[in-house]
Amino acid sequence: MEGASAAAISATMKAVNFPATSSIPRTTVSITFASPWPHTKLNMLTFYAPNPNTRFSALSTGRCSTKPNADTNNETDQNSTFESNPYLNTENSSTAISNEAISSSSIPSSSLSRGLVLDLGPVGSWDCKEIGSPVVKRFLSDEEERWYMWYHGVSSGIPCSDSIGLAVSSNGVRWERGKGAVKSSVDVGSVMNCGNDWWAFDTESIFPGEVVIMSSAKVRASSAVYWLYYTGYSSEKVNILANSSGFNVQNPERYCVDDTDSQSSRIGKIFRSLPGLAISQDGRHWARIEGEHHSGALFDVGSEGEWDSLFVASPQVVFHGNGDLRMYYHSFDVENGEFCIGIARSRDGMKWIKLGKIMGGGKSGRFDELGAMNPCVVKNKKDGKYIMAYEGADADGRRSIGLAVSPDGLKDWRRLQNESVLKPAAMDDGWDSKGIGSPCLVEMDGDVDEWRLYYRGLGNGGRSGIGMAVSDGSDITRFRRWTGFQV
């Protein structure tokens, strides 16, 4: 990273003094770094495997022999194996997960639950009311495969009950989750709550946007750090004087609310939201980093009349190269009556410069006529192009998932096709029959291009869940909902 050093990051981490609970401090970090290695640049997206003693061990980018079955005709790849990595430390990898870990294997196997990999939590848990916004990362070693999923959850009947939580998996399908807040570096469950400072931008709600892993080739792997970019919502309401689309815009969007729910007052309203940053050494205990905005956010909404003047939501950060990070986010363009996706750029991941809008609504009658939102951008390992999965809204507000591609990730974004790559389930009683969105793309390693697409699904009564679809071989324009592993 341009101008930032591993020593400075390490010093920042020591100053933060991470707590043992999910009570998150807010820390101001100077962005002027002193470095014993003035020419050292941080590398990002060098993945490290988190283990219980919070040390990070380098991993190979090997291949996994476990392939999900999205079609009964799929065959198991007998030649796929993990590549060896002598530097991996798996000493404590088998430590049992505490905090009443719950497995997702109890999800019923039926056509109505096809694709569902994470349902609502049990009654009384931190995520029993609503879940969504999955951010999924895969870690490979010579001995095992581990998956982390950070996601948004809401509990019942408690004001400001929104949280960000963590679930873990050995295959990306069957997930272990916790009922409450994490207490140790091996726990799963709620890892971050709404901010407590009255002046902050994230007192009302928080949604994960992206988790990026920082490291430096000049220092040992234990100095690697998780950077969580997230959306924070305050209690400040925003009014739209004129909306040409006639669509009922919400921010954040709420799906499952009843008359006794403490969140019922939030329905149909727009709350100001801004992007935030938190850092962690284990992906579980986080410290907020104050940005340049007076509320602690990384940057503000646009000026009156600009396309992002209402709110900034769903920040998703991609590392392009040393000193070049791109943040993709969405807002609602009041003048044009559509959701739009924009981009900002940074040298250090903290100071950002907006570059403008890169994608708006599709043509009349298309699945994304009312716009695009919740972007997830991935750089294709095969050809270097940038692929964006996004949530599109049609004229009736119904949500589907589409794809776009760009040669450099900055401009010239082109929709791959006129139709969505994944639609809501056709069956009325399907768990995701009312809408799907918040996509998260994961490129799998192997001899051919294979992708997993994690997403939020909505069913009857606004019940939410997290699902997974798998690309049809190397064709990323075709996805099928996961139905089980081929034995």
List pLDDT tens digits, range 349-369.
Answer: 999 999 999 999 999 999 999
Residue 331 included in any domain: yes
Please tell me the predicted confidence (pLDDT) of residue 239: 83
The model carries a pTM of: 0.81
Using 50 as the pLDDT threshold, list the residues of the chain that sit under it.
Answer: 1-22, 30-68, 71-98, 216-221, 259-265, 487
Long-range contacts of 70-74 (CB under 8 A, 24+ apart): 70/469, 70/470, 70/472, 70/479, 70/480, 70/481, 70/482, 70/483, 71/472, 71/480, 71/483, 72/483, 74/486
Please tell me the predicted confidence (pLDDT) of residue 350: 94
Number of domains in the chain: 1
Burial label, 87 (beta-carbon count in 10 A; 0-12, 13-18, 19+): exposed
Burial label, 426 (beta-carbon count in 10 A; 0-12, 13-18, 19+): exposed
Which residues, in sequence order, are bridge partners of residue 266?
none
Query: Nearest 5 degrees, angle CA 275-CA 276-CA 280?
Result: 145
Please tell me the predicted confidence (pLDDT) of residue 299: 98
CATH number at residue 333: 2.115.10.20
List pLDDT tens digits, range 248-300.
Answer: 788 888 776 554 444 444 556 899 999 999 999 999 999 999 999 999 999 99
Residue 1 included in any domain: no
Please tell me the predicted confidence (pLDDT) of residue 84: 28
Q: Burial code of 21-33, b = ≥16 C-beta within 10 A, e = fewer? A: ebebebbebeeeb
Residue 31 included in any domain: yes
Please tell me the predicted confidence (pLDDT) of residue 39: 33
Residue 141 included in any domain: yes
Q: Which domain holds residue 96?
A: 6-485
Residue 158 included in any domain: yes
Residue 426 included in any domain: yes
Please tell me the predicted confidence (pLDDT) of residue 374: 98
Please tell me the predicted confidence (pLDDT) of residue 322: 82
Average pLDDT of the chain is 78
User: Could you tell me the CA-to-CA distances from 281 to 20, 54, 104, 126, 284 in Å, in that order?
Assistant: 12, 6, 26, 23, 8
Residue 188 included in any domain: yes
